[in-house]
């Protein structure tokens, strides 16, 4: 009888985690290191199924889903162009896919008019510590690591048996429920968990050119864009009559980039 109860318990646990689990994180960041009181909050989603996980902005997902629906019913092309967004309303566009039992991740991110599909091998060397705290009533253990130019403090729970977490973080013996860098410029904390009964497919409405490249080549493209943010505009409008307009746009873009000096992978701009 005891053996039957144990087998039933294992079946229930396996069935519970066989479907897609959706983990909701609050992500708080400080984009400008000279304005530490000005933080930005975003809801991020980590979907995990039996084959992979997918991490993305909830606002971006809602926006993309709405656009996809409007394209299908024909109303999208009848709408006037959206006004330019203020910096505080810009939605994170990075999407990260991690395959189970693989150290290679895939992330999709736009630069100018190109969507880069980037493959990156990540081997995180975590250090575990005998310290604990509670997050959403889960007992979480401390772990630390240096990654992308920052020192990170993470808290993971073995009660949720996924070796995953927000952003590119993974590889601990349980789900990362909280993680922040030492300067508290970037903080993630688990706020909720849902079950998804349907197969999840992220809507793709981008008309950008898609290029698949390794991480090393993406770094070069990223740095080039930081140095010359209006290069795509200059190629699209090569005539001298547009030179002054593009010059002003580039000036504004450079000013915005100066304020975006505290990115999560800080080693990319050092």
- Tens place of pLDDT per residue across the chain (270 aa): 444 433 333 333 344 445 789 999 999 999 999 999 999 999 999 999 999 999 999 998 887 776 555 445 555 444 454 444 444 444 568 999 999 888 899 999 988 888 999 999 999 999 999 999 999 999 999 999 999 999 999 999 999 999 999 999 999 999 999 999 999 999 999 999 999 887 788 887 777 789 999 999 999 999 999 998 888 888 788 787 778 888 898 899 999 999 999 999 999 998
What six digits make up the tokens of 169? 């973080």
Residue pair 166/189 in contact by the 8 Å Cβ criterion: no
The number of residues in the chain equals 270
pTM: 0.84
pLDDT at 258: 92
109 in helix, strand or coil?
strand
- HEC string of 238-252? CCHHHHHHHHHHHHH
Residues 206-227 pLDDT 10s: 777 899 999 999 999 999 999 9
Question: Any idea what DSSP says for residue 184?
Answer: S
Residue pair 176/166 in contact by the 8 Å Cβ criterion: yes
pLDDT at 183: 96
19-214 is classed in which CATH architecture? Clam (2.50)
DSSP line for 200-237:
P-------SEEEEEEHHHHHHHHHHHHH-TTHHHHHH-
What six digits make up the tokens of 240? 């001298």
pLDDT at 235: 79
What six digits make up the tokens of 258? 């100066």
Nearest by Cα to 22 from 174, 203, 200? 200
Angle (nearest 5°) at CA 143 between 137 and 264: 100
């Amino acid at each position: 009888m005891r053996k039957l109860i144990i087998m039933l318990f294992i079946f229930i646990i396996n069935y519970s985690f066989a479907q897609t689990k959706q983990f909701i994180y609050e992500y708080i960041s400080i984009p400008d290191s000279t304005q530490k009181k000005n933080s930005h909050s975003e809801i991020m989603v980590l979907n995990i199924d039996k084959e992979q996980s997918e991490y993305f902005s909830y606002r971006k997902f809602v926006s993309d889903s709405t656009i996809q629906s409007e394209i299908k019913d024909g109303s999208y092309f009848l709408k006037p162009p959206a006004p330019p967004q203020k910096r505080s309303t810009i939605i994170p566009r990075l999407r990260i896919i991690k395959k189970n039992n693989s150290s290679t991740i895939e992330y999709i991110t736009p630069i100018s008019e190109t969507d880069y599909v980037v493959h990156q091998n990540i081997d995180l060397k975590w250090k575990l510590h005998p310290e604990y705290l509670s997050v959403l009533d889960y007992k979480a253990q401390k772990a630390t690591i240096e990654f992308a130019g920052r020192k990170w403090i993470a808290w993971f729970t073995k009660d949720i048996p996924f070796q995953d977490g927000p952003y590119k973080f993974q590889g601990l013996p349980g789900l990362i429920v909280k993680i922040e860098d030492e300067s508290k410029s970037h903080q993630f904390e688990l706020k909720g968990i849902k079950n998804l009964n349907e197969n999840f497919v992220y809507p793709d409405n981008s008309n950008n050119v898609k290029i698949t490249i390794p991480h090393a080549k993406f770094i070069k493209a990223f740095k080039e864009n930081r140095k010359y943010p209006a290069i795509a505009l200059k190629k699209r409008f090569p005539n001298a009559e547009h030179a002054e307009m593009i010059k002003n746009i580039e000036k504004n873009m450079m000013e915005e980039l100066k304020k975006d000096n505290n990115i999560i992978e800080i080693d990319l701009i050092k």
